[in-house]
Structure formats: structure tokens, C-alpha cells
A and B are shown apart, each in its own frame.
Chain A
């Protein structure tokens, strides 16, 4: 049984090794097929493990492969834990992953670096599985870093464009900020509990249903737990793109669209939610952190939702909507509605993957004309203002988009409705969070409607749109499967059966959430009204179609993503720049070269400020040494008893 546990990780890794070393010889088709096959095999094994978990007594499979690190007190086993939570996520990762692999065969066809792309995808699946399957925080961190690396590689996949390389770097750096929090949290966990294994830690924290703290009597314990959870949450902020660290996700759309679908919509970004739900025993007893988490989540949902209202890039809308939906999940986790959070994570994986793949199909279709005619005049194939009327030309894509969109908008009976409703019900006892989430729900329906109308209805607004063509079978098939999932995914936790709730009970405990008919009716109605409003406003295809729009101040504010990037530039990067150029002027009378921008200037500033200290003169070096000697001796004379 335990050997079965490594197979889901092993299969994609085999794909990585074979494709990395033999990829050139095998050719693009074989590479794609092999990668897809490996991911599907992992899915099959995940299914088997899932069934084993469901019949096993303790609803979990432990598998240990000896000690990984054993130094002094630190003893970390190379152990995996497949329980109800991780097995559910494994199904999503491998299942949605396999579909996206399949889709990619069609999408990436003809790219000279296709082999590398599939290596990255396989590596990503393996890393994500390590993240959710590890039985301790260190292994989770390893997976955490690996998925970060894959994401970095995929965002910068088309690195020939400067913009993409910059986006990759931005993602990397912002994520590292979160990682600092995460690793500090892990260290604090180790110092507090003396172990990093989930099982032992949660046993110490105690039965989370009664919130009895095993550390009771130790007055610092609650404060320490708050610190731990807060640090962990900083990690989640980075990976799951929450305020204030969400800025990297919209830029991350620079990568290939299927990769965006897999990583930046369906799976990787949910790592933060998984981590919080996995640590629910800790978060449950740290009430102040949980409240903070809920508030940050709701604020993120609201801000990102409002930004999505005024975007023109088809992928940017979806990107901000992802941030917004992640905010929903984080808020649910902060409210203690862990099941609802995971439920939304799963339905979101279905419909957001579907939306991204459909968007990819649209972009693909739009590029058809300029590719076929070598048209010199390049228009942006991702700009919704160039689209319109694609309904008839791309029927499968259209219906897929409709199903995904209505699910996102939260219209019954689509899957998104059920999961979002559970979160909103859970927020009823927290008025501020509830208000923010309610507004966001309306925003969501509205921008979804706007997107649907701008892309598929009306008449074509460019030659590319009027000559668009439907994509091939490899791309259509995943769309169809995902459409079905997005349609019926709500069945996972329908009122009445509450299957997921019972399934996750061993991990997150009982939570009396549920269905609230008035709320459900109210939000269905609100969504319908918002969709209708979008239809009325954008039906004629006149609004928002100018490529050089005169935006009102509010619109411009939203379009520029609340000016947050500019804010960071003004609040953090520019003062650094000012300081460094000031230092540069002080230290180097010759003055520095003209300003470039951002970090480049910052580094240059530091360089100009510090480098003269390393003057090249031996005697100055000796002088610095003597300064050190005198300071050291003075310190010793003063501090020695």
C-alpha cells in the first residue's frame, strides 16, 4: 500500500526525466503524449488511493520512507500522508492537470520549445503533489518552493519578450517575500513543538473541536500560536495572491495560457488555502489571526473584483477574477468554514480552468487570421475590444465559456453557485466580511456578463475576429469534459447529501454550515440582475470599444488596478531611489548616470553609494581593519564582566 503512495509523484517525474533527456529525439508529439499519459497515470493512481482512503478505518494512509533529516532534535521523516483532504486535492491536481496536458498538445504545437514546456508541466504536477502529500511542514515547503520555481519558469517561458522576463522576476521576488514568512513560521513551529509532523503538532494543539490548548499553563502559548499562524498566513498571501502581495498574479498571465490555467488559476495558487486548511487546528485556536485572515480575504476579493470590472484584456479579467475568488476561499478559511473553502477551491478549479482554456481557445482562434495571412498589422489578440460575435464561429468554445462564466457568476445550478453560497452563508455572522463578499458577488456577475457579451455577442470588431476559427479536437475535448464538471461539480456538496462535508470531517471537524434558502434566492436574483445589466449595457457593442478610451477617473483607477503598482513604486521603490541617489551624490561627486527605473536604479544607487568604499587602496583596507580591531577590542573591554 505504501509504495502506491509514491507512484503519483513518480509518474510525472519519469515524464520529466525522459522528456528532459530524450525530448529532442522523441519529437514534440511523443513528448506531449508521454507527458499527458504520465499525468493521467498519476490520476488513475490517485483514484485508487482515494478509494483506499474511503474504506480505510482512520481515513488516512501514512507512508514513511525512513528518516530524511535527523540532526539533534530535528527529525524529519520522508513521509507522506494521504487523507481525505490530500486525496481530494490530488484528484483535482492530476485530473485537471491531465486535461490541461491534453489541451496543451494542441495549444503549444509548433513552438520550438514545446519539449521544455511539457517538462515544466510534469515537474509542476509532481511538485504540487509533494506539496499536498507531505506529512510534515518541511516537505510541504519543499513542494511549495518547487511549484514556485515551475511557475517562475513557465511565466518566463517566452522570455524573448522583456515583459515576460520581468513578470517572472516579479512573481519570484514577491513570492520570496511570502516564503520568508512561511519558513519563519516553520522554524517557530519547530521551536515551539519540537517537531514538524502534522500529526504530532496537531495532537499537541489538542482536539480542535474543544479548542483546549494542550500548552495551557504556558502564558505565551496563545501569543506564539498567533505568531505562527500569522507567519504561515504571510506565506499564503504570497502564493495565493492576497493583499498586499497579489500584484504578481495578473502579470503572471504572460505565460502560455494552459499554464496559466493550471498554475495561476486551478492549482498552485490554491496552495495557500490548502496550507491554512491543513493547519486548521492551529488557526482554529488563534482566533485573532483567523479574523485577520477573513478580513484580508474579503478585502482582496472586493478589490480584485472591482478591478476586473474595467479590464480589456480577456486574460486580465480572468486573472483578477482568480485573485477575487481566492479571496473568497481565504475568507472562508478565516471564518472557519474550511469545508466551504475547499469546496469552492474544487469548483473553482473546474470552472476557472475551463474559462482559461476557453480564453486560450479564443486567443488561438483570433491569431488564426494574422498567422494565415502574415498580416503586417498586428492587433492584440487578447484585447476584448477587438473581439465580438465569436459565438457563431467558435460554438464549442462559446458554450464552454458560457458554462464557466455562469458558474463563476454564481447562477444556479452551476457549480460555482453552491460553493459561493456556502461561503456567503458562513460570513453571515461577520457583517463587514459579509458586505464585502456580497458586493464582490455582484461585481463578479457583472464583469462575467460584460466579458461574455464583449467576446461572443454583437458583431466582429476586427478582421481577426471575423475570420476566427474553432480550435482542434485536442483542445475541444478538455473543454467539453471541464464543462461537464463545471456544470455538475456542485453535486460534491449539495444541500441534503453534504458529501464533501462528511468526507473532510476527519481533517477539519464538523462545521454546521449549510444551505440558506433566502440567501441563495437573493444572491441568484442579484447575479441575474447584474448579468442582465451587463447585457443591456454592452449588447449594442458600442460601449468600451474604443482602443484609446477616455476613461473616467473611477474607471481609470480600476483599470490601473487601484494604482497599487504605482503605489508600491511611490511608497517603496521611489524612496529607495531617492535615498540611493542622494547617497550616490554624497559619496560620488561625479554624479550618477541618468535614472533608469525601479530596482535597476536601486541597485545602481546602492552600487554608487557603497562601491567607493572599496577604493582599491591597500592602505585604506588596512585602515578599515584597524577600525574593526579597535571597535572589537573596545567591545570586549566593555562587555567582559
Chain B
């Protein structure tokens, strides 16, 4: 019984999603919003369960369950909360977007819930089997969700690219796990950690962990395993992209934290330095490519790559792993809030124009047409840029701080420099929204309204961005 309590949040999501699959049959096609509301209700339940996990385990003990397959600690509970909130945020966006783009289907919500359940499970993983199963559990529904807007070719193309490369990356992941198992004779992360702490880190284990890094690096879009990211984020429906930038990244990093930061990886110098190099490459290429984009959606895709680089810097900071893990989880939460705010704007724009064109000109003069959208977008972009007083600054500060205290001064410096470069492309959008007028768009078009649920979501996300920027202690206290 206690075992079940430990994974109550994903349990609620899995069982609820299965039940929802049946309920969905009874709901007419023009009332699929009901399914969305039920799904949100389920996520609220999971949210409450996660808060309870946090509350009843105030001492922050690591509790194991299901023959050490899963564990529950602060990070797991916090990530559960993050995933549930992301899910609710995305579902609020779907109410208008999916209807306009004719992908308002019950299965959309069921699959998203399955995916969220897999991500929550990933946060609780204590064994490589759990990591593998959880990874596939959240990935396979995502392959489908990318292609849900078929027969639109962009959507199908993004789905196939994600699927083929994802399966390819899974191959490396599985082979890596096989080698790690071969080196240690166990799949349990804690047991592996003990062996490594005793100084037994054979090359086979290191290479296995390296191949696992490939598989997980693919999920979080680390250069050079990032190539799918811009195409898939670009082609997928915007609500799905919003889900992927925030939740997939968090799930991937949850696994990286478990295996590399809190697990055996942190004790192997060559792995740590390899992660630091990946972090550097990811920052550089993510930001450079983003500079060249004319489409806001694609720009945000590259920006999400760049942010994976900053996060990887946290994974490579192993001097004080508790501090680094805090910084990474905090950053994931801030990035989720920021990114949801930005994609909220994108999905509304996509609904207004009834297409998926996110060229800069679509944002020209937005401040005049939809001041609310323009301000939310500006706030989100400032936060992505790392402007002080926004969540993005606090998050970056904590990450770079832990990098510096781990002796990775060069990486922190690179992070700061690339953040400055990023100001160029974020600012370009702001200039287009606020400082240019668009003569071609009729301002009185009745489509240019903002839907209430999206507005609620964007307001909450914006408040979170500002609150986490002004008073990061609010969240950070939960770590201590």
C-alpha cells in the first residue's frame, strides 16, 4: 500500500487516462472540451497528491518502493508538481487552439496524460529499467501527438523525424544500459553508485553511461543530438510544441539528474568534462542558429536548445551536487513557466490567423492589436534573455553560480556571453511587436481576441515568472 502512495501522482494520471479513454467514447465530437476539463481535473488531483507527498515527507527522506524500482524524494515531488502544472497550462491552451485547428479529439488528451504519467514516473525512477520504460512511456505518445494534425504535411514530417531519430537514440540508450549492466551486474542506480564510490568505474561503465547520455541528450536536445528539435518543434501543433519544450526537457533532465548528477556519473571525471563540453556546444550552437531565424516558433525551438545548454552546465557542476540539483530543478520550473507564457502567445496567434505561420511579420505591431499578448510575450522573452527581476535571471544565476563553485568558470563565462548574444534575437521580436506598425493587418478583425482560458494561463505563468524573479526563495525554500 505504501508503495502505491509513493507514486500516487503518476498512478492517478495513468488510471485516470485509462478511464478517460472510455468516457471519451460517450462524448460527442463537438463537446470534446469536456474531455479537456476532465483531464485538467485529473491533473489537479495529481497535483494535490504531489503536494501531499511533499508535505508528509517534510524531512526530505528518500523513500524507496516497488523493490527499489522507484523512489520518492523532494525532487520527485517537485517535478510531479511541475509536470501537472505544465499539463494544466497546455490543456488550457488547447481549448481554443485545437478547436480552430481541428485537432480537438479525445485521444489528444488521453495521450498527453499518458505522456505526463511517464514523465512523472521518470522523476521517481531509481532503476535503469524504470528509466527506460518511463522514457518510452512519455515518448511514444509524443510521436503520435506531433503527427496528430495529419494530413497536414508539416505535422506528419515532424512526427516521422521525431519518431525515427527517437527510436535511433533509444537504440543507443538501451545499448548503453546494457554496457552499464555488463560492467556492474546491476540495474539499480544506488547500487551502481556504491560501486563507483568504492572506486570501481571500469571503462565499460563509462562508455555505457556515455551512450545513455546520447539517448537522454537527444530527449533534452543537447548538441549534437539536437538536430530533430527545430524541425519537430516547428512542424508540430503549437500546443504540442508547448508541451514538448517544457515537459520533455524537464523529464529528460530528471533522468540526467538521477543518473549523472546524483548517480554514478558525477564520480567519473571524463563524463563530467564531456557533459561540460556538450553544454558549451549546446549554448553556442543553439544561440547562433536562433540568431538566423525569421520564424518566432523556430527561434523559440533553437532557444530551447540553448537553454538545454545552460541546464547541462548545472549537470556538469559536481562540486556540490545538492546545490546543482536544486539549481537545475529550479531552472526547469522557471523555464516551464516562461516557455508556457511564450507559447501561450504563439498558440493564440496561431488561432487568430488559423495557420501555423509564425514569421516575424505576424508579430509586427502586436502591441497595438493585442497589448496583453505583446506584454506577456515581452516578459517571457526578457525572462528567456535572463533579465534581472525575471525568473530567467534567478535561474541562470543559480546555475552559473554552481558552475563557478565547481571550477567551471569558463563555462559560466560562456553562458553569460551567449546570454548576451541571445538578447539580439529576443529583442528583435520585441522591436517588431512594440516599435513597428503593421499596415497590412486590419485592426478591427474580430478574430483578434484572446481566449479567456489562454489568458488565465498566460497571466498565471507571467505572475510565476515575476514572482520567481523577485522572490525565488518562495520555491527554493521547498528544497531546503
Contacts and interface: CB of A to CB of B under 8 A. Distances in A.
B435 A159 contact: yes
A20 to B, nearest CB: 10
B334 interface: no
Main secondary structure of the interface of B (DSSP, over half): helix
A71 B168 contact: no
Interface in A221-246: none
A428 B401 CA distance: 43
A6 to B, nearest CB: 14
B288 A187 contact: no
B305 to A, nearest CB: 11
A637 B214 contact: no
| Candidate in A179, A180, A183, A638 with the most chain B CB atoms within 10 angstroms | A183
Contacts of B437: 160
A350 B81 CA distance: 55
A71 B165 contact: no
Contacts of A173: 423-424
B214 A624 contact: no
A632 B209 CA distance: 11
Contacts of A191: 404-405
B206 A611 contact: no
A489 B87 CA distance: 62
Interface string B140-180: 00000000000000000000110011001100100000000
A586 interface: no
Contacts of A177: 420
A223 to B, nearest CB: 15
A639 B389 contact: no
Contact of A636 (B210, B225, B394, B471): B210
B447 interface: no
B436 to A, nearest CB: 8
B224 interface: yes
A74 B401 CA distance: 9
Contact of A632 (B210, B320, B326): B210
A308 interface: no
Contacts of B133: none
Given A159-B435, A607-B292, A625-B227, A145 B389 contact: yes
Contacts of B292: 603-604, 606-608, 610-611
B230 interface: yes
B292 to A, nearest CB: 3
A70 interface: yes
A639 B270 contact: yes
Interface stretch (B3-11, B335-343, B410-418): B410-418
A57 B352 CA distance: 64
A622 interface: yes
Given A68-B473, A625-B165, A637-B207, A610 B274 contact: no
A159 B288 CA distance: 27
A628 B225 contact: yes
Interface string B87-131: 000000000000000000000000000000000000000000000
B270 A635 contact: yes
B231 interface: yes
A217 interface: no
B443 interface: no
Interface string A581-623: 0000000000000000001000110111011001010101110
A632 B212 CA distance: 11
Interface in B361-420: 387-389, 394, 398, 400-401, 404-405, 412-413, 416-417, 420
Nearest to A153: B434
B295 to A, nearest CB: 12
A624 B224 contact: yes
A14 B113 CA distance: 44
A599 B424 contact: yes
A629 B211 contact: yes
B63 interface: no
A625 B214 contact: yes
Contact of B161 (A160, A599, A611, A621): A621
B472 A69 contact: yes
Given A625-B218, A628-B214, A636-B206, A606 B230 contact: no
A73 B434 CA distance: 40
Identify the interface centre among A608, A618, A633, A639: most chain B CB within 10 Å of its CB. A618
B290 to A, nearest CB: 10
B230 A614 contact: yes
Contacts, number: 148
Contacts of B293: 607
B420 A176 contact: yes
Interface in B421-448: 423-424, 427, 431, 434-437
A285 B227 CA distance: 51
B271 interface: yes
A180 B270 contact: no
Q: What is the interface residue range for chain A against chain B?
A: 35 or more
B408 to A, nearest CB: 12
Nearest to A168: B435
B389 A146 contact: yes
A621 B228 contact: yes
Given A70-B473, A640-B206, A146 B388 contact: yes
A623 B437 CA distance: 44
A72 B291 contact: no
A184 B413 contact: yes
A105 to B, nearest CB: 25
B161 A618 contact: yes
A338 interface: no
B388 A637 contact: no
Contacts of A616: 231
A3 interface: no
Contacts of B169: 625
Contacts of A629: 172, 211, 214
A37 interface: no
B431 A165 contact: yes
Interface in B219-265: 223-225, 227-228, 230-231
A606 B291 contact: yes
Contacts of A68: 471, 473
Contact of B289 (A165, A610, A618, A625): A610
Contact of A635 (B274, B412, B423, B436): B274
Given A156-B435, A603-B292, A627-B224, A67 B473 contact: yes
Contacts of B400: 187
Contacts of A141: 388
Nearest to B388: A145
A569 interface: no
A622 B206 contact: no
Interface in A161-179: 165, 168-169, 172-173, 176-177, 179
A435 interface: no
Contacts of A625: 165, 168-169, 214, 218, 224-225, 227
Contacts of A603: 291-292, 424
A618 B291 CA distance: 23
B165 A622 contact: yes
Contacts of B218: 625
A198 B389 CA distance: 21
Nearest to B425: A603
B476 interface: yes
B168 A622 contact: yes
Interface string A115-134: 00000000000000000000
Interface string A261-283: 00000000000000000000000
28 contacts: A67-B473, A68-B473, A69-B472, A71-B323, A71-B398, A72-B323, A142-B388, A145-B388, A159-B434, A159-B436, A169-B427, A176-B420, A187-B400, A187-B404, A190-B401, A191-B404, A607-B291, A608-B292, A611-B292, A614-B227, A618-B161, A629-B172, A632-B214, A635-B273, A636-B203, A639-B269, A639-B273, A640-B268
Please list the 6 inter-chain residue pairs (A to B) with the smallest Cβ-Cβ separation, ordered nearest first.
A607-B292, A621-B227, A159-B435, A628-B224, A639-B270, A145-B388
Given A70-B473, A176-B420, A614-B289, 6 more contacts: A165-B436, A603-B292, A614-B231, A624-B224, A628-B224, A635-B277
